[in-house]
Chains A and B, each alone.
Chain A
Amino acid sequence: MKRPLQMTLLLLAGIGLLRVSLFTDLYLRYVKEGMRPLLIASGALLILLGVADAVSYGRRRGGEEHTDHGNESHGHHHSTTPRAAWLLFLPVLSLLLYAPPALGAYTASRAAPKAITHQDDFDPLPGISPLPITLSDFTRRVQQDRTKAIRGRTVQMAGFVTPGQQGDSWFLTRIMISCCAADAQSVKVRIYGTPALPTNTWVAVTGTWHPRGTLGTSSAAAALDAQSEEKIAKPVNAYTDALPLTPTR
């Protein structure tokens, strides 16, 4: 790889990283929120490296022009310059021009289900109705809460649509990541009673527990009889399962 190309690659990589982390929230499609400072620092460092390289290249070229009487010079030999570096253009251009979307229904229907953590003591549910609740909390209430506080309660949950295998139901889904999108895990609640909107649409669903299995034990199905559903905007940080259901940003 020629020296000017190396500079271009470094500069583009830096700009691409800054674009997804500093100027937009695109980085949230790939990594956790906590990576942001590291990504911004890396982007700045890459730009600095590219500029420093350009400056030293220009200075040396200027110097050689005097000695070589203006002949075109490619600087010193670069036999060790890595050919593999060309591959870096793929992610760099992807970051700059064509950032792939966040993982959705395709991954959710294949990813490992997120292990629902075990909980022994449950606080009484707040009295508001419908009660906003996360998919994980709902599953935990249904399968672990021996006080059966969820029985008869109208709850509201939000997620995206994953088609169900059976015709009469679909999955309300969230994908969660612990480090980057390579370790995605999903949590799903089966929805009965309302027609599925197009795959990957973000919706808020209101309804009551779909009685199947014994409530408060692991035989209870994480399922909901929906009364209503409405489209919502995709949350900024889609890889979480958190309240509030409809983000304000």
Chain B
Amino acid sequence: MQRTHERTEAPDTDGAARDETAPDWFRFWPLLLLGAATVPGTVLYFGGRWMETPAMQAWRTVCLAVTVQALPFLLLGTALSGAINAFVPARVFSRVLPRRPVLAVPVAGMAGAVLPGCECASVPVANSLIARGVTPAAAFAFLLSAPAINPVVLTATAVAFPGHPAMVAARLLASLGTAAVMGWLWLWLGRAEWLRPKLRHSGHQVGGSRWREFRAGFQHDFLHAGGFLVVGAMAAATFNVAVPRSVLEAFSGSPWLSVAFLAALAIVLAVCSEADAFVAASLSGFSPVARLAFMVVGPMVDLKLIALQAGTFGRAFAVRFSAATTVVAVLSSSLIGGALL
């Protein structure tokens, strides 16, 4: 009732304000008319010309390509997350996962193998897992491992590196290792206040319609994550167009620099995890360890993922988590790559 009251008052004050200001701007109407006639045209013309330059066209194409490629997987992820929230009782997770968080982390990491798709799908799913009472450390292990070790990605890796089964094994082990270490690191150092408190994922409410809860959660998560996906795609497209690939050759000589450089490249290029093996295979000037680092870092940290995580879990979390994951992933791929490749 109170709200109705406010609503009826609002238009009155609005109308009063308009009556006072109207004559003021009305005096300059020829100027305004002229402006209205020319400014949009000019802006459109020069804006259009600028948008048609080859660099801007390439930027728009890459930006749209990243978005279009990710949308189906984002939909899958947000639908799953909505379904977990509305239909799966919390006790299912407490029964499946070991009770001790230290053990739950590697189990959740290995469970990542069942979510096919690229990294965009795993962020909303991890979020809803946390909301359903899964310990955050285990959810993060899942978040990191799912895009890297699912069968689709491992098959793509085997196809991209024919005759090098060691590369597939190294990718699997290094990714699992990174996911588990990050989970344990969260148990050791992580703080709950870095995570944005989330009110929406409250699970099934008694008396509410599960179907409506699913739909509302799905829609909210998709629109939210979609917006951040666009931010990430824009950033990735900017680097993609602005950094010429000839820069790559400069770093391929030194073994340590090349590992760090390809890890950085994986972050800024934001290639989806199903395709990064092919990109890694094309970086033939680099050592196998550096290429492994590219494939381990890429699915776990990249610009669009950082944007998605910042949107889902909050900026304080995304910055710390991505930085730590990069370090752990580089170390783990150097160790395992050094041993296997």
A residues with a Cβ closer than 8 A to B are: 1, 6, 9-10, 13, 17, 20, 27, 29-31, 35, 38-39, 41-42, 45-46, 49, 52-53, 56, 68, 71-72, 80-88, 90-91, 94-95, 99-107, 110-112, 114-115, 178-183, 185
Count of A-B contacts judged by CB separation below 8 Å: 158
User: A88 to chain B: which residues have CB within 8 Å?
Assistant: 223, 226-227, 230
Give a binary string over B236-268; 1 marks a CB under 8 Å from any A CB, 0 the rest.
110010001110100000000000000000000
User: A30 to chain B: which residues have CB within 8 Å?
Assistant: 61, 64-65, 68-69
Q: Is B139 an interface residue (CB 8 A)?
A: no
Q: Is the CB of B54 within 8 A of A84?
A: no
| Chain A residue nearest to B282 in the complex (CB) | A115
| Chain B residue nearest to A105 in the complex (CB) | B54
Q: Is the CB of B218 within 8 A of A49?
A: yes
Q: Is B274 an interface residue (CB 8 A)?
A: yes
| Chain A residue nearest to B218 in the complex (CB) | A49
Which secondary structure dominates where chain B touches chain A?
A: helix
19 additional A-B pairs beyond A91-B67, A112-B283, beta carbons within 8 Å, are A1-B223, A27-B68, A68-B4, A71-B7, A82-B220, A82-B224, A84-B227, A87-B230, A95-B68, A110-B246, A112-B245, A112-B282, A115-B282, A180-B272, A182-B240, A182-B269, A183-B279, A185-B279, A185-B282
| Chain B residue nearest to A91 in the complex (CB) | B67
User: A106 to chain B: which residues have CB within 8 Å?
Assistant: 54-55, 57-58
| Chain B residue nearest to A77 in the complex (CB) | B3
B residues with a Cβ closer than 8 A to A are: 4, 7-8, 54-55, 57-58, 60-69, 71-72, 75, 79, 160, 199-200, 212, 215, 218-220, 222-224, 226-228, 230-231, 233, 236-237, 240, 244-246, 248, 269-272, 274-276, 278-279, 281-284, 311
User: B63 to chain A: which residues have CB within 8 Å?
Assistant: 91
From the candidates B79, B272, B282, name the one contacting A114 in the complex (CB within 8 A): B282
A15–B218 alpha-carbon span in the complex (Å): 19
Q: Is the CB of A179 within 8 A of B72?
A: no
> Smallest distance from the beta carbon of B20 to chain A beta carbons, Å?
25
| Chain B residue nearest to A21 in the complex (CB) | B68
> Smallest distance from the beta carbon of B55 to chain A beta carbons, Å?
6
A56–B63 alpha-carbon span in the complex (Å): 34
User: A103 to chain B: which residues have CB within 8 Å?
Assistant: 58, 61-62
User: B246 to chain A: which residues have CB within 8 Å?
Assistant: 110
Q: Is the CB of B72 within 8 A of A183?
A: no
Q: Is the CB of A179 within 8 A of B272?
A: yes
Q: Is the CB of B284 within 8 A of A49?
A: no
> Smallest distance from the beta carbon of A218 to chain B beta carbons, Å?
12
A110–B69 alpha-carbon span in the complex (Å): 22
From the candidates B212, B222, B244, B271, name the one contacting A182 in the complex (CB within 8 A): B271
From the candidates A80, A84, A181, name the one contacting B62 in the complex (CB within 8 A): A181
A17–B75 alpha-carbon span in the complex (Å): 13
A178–B279 alpha-carbon span in the complex (Å): 8
Q: Is the CB of B219 within 8 A of A10?
A: yes
Q: Is the CB of A85 within 8 A of B64?
A: no
| Chain B residue nearest to A102 in the complex (CB) | B61
Q: Is the CB of B274 within 8 A of A41?
A: no
Q: Is the CB of B215 within 8 A of A49?
A: yes
User: A72 to chain B: which residues have CB within 8 Å?
Assistant: 7
29 examples of A-B residue contacts, CB within 8 angstroms: A10-B223, A17-B68, A31-B68, A42-B72, A46-B75, A49-B222, A53-B219, A71-B8, A80-B220, A85-B224, A87-B227, A91-B67, A91-B230, A100-B57, A101-B57, A102-B61, A103-B62, A104-B54, A105-B54, A106-B57, A106-B58, A110-B244, A112-B283, A114-B282, A179-B271, A180-B66, A180-B272, A181-B61, A183-B271
User: B220 to chain A: which residues have CB within 8 Å?
Assistant: 80-82
User: B200 to chain A: which residues have CB within 8 Å?
Assistant: 80
Q: Is the CB of B237 within 8 A of A182?
A: yes
> Smallest distance from the beta carbon of A239 to chain B beta carbons, Å?
10
A46–B71 alpha-carbon span in the complex (Å): 10
Q: Is the CB of B275 within 8 A of A183?
A: yes
User: A100 to chain B: which residues have CB within 8 Å?
Assistant: 57, 60-61, 64
> Smallest distance from the beta carbon of B115 to chain A beta carbons, Å?
15
User: B274 to chain A: which residues have CB within 8 Å?
Assistant: 179
User: B224 to chain A: which residues have CB within 8 Å?
Assistant: 82, 84-85
Q: Is the CB of A53 within 8 A of B215?
A: yes
| Chain B residue nearest to A16 in the complex (CB) | B68
Q: Is the CB of A52 within 8 A of B215?
A: yes
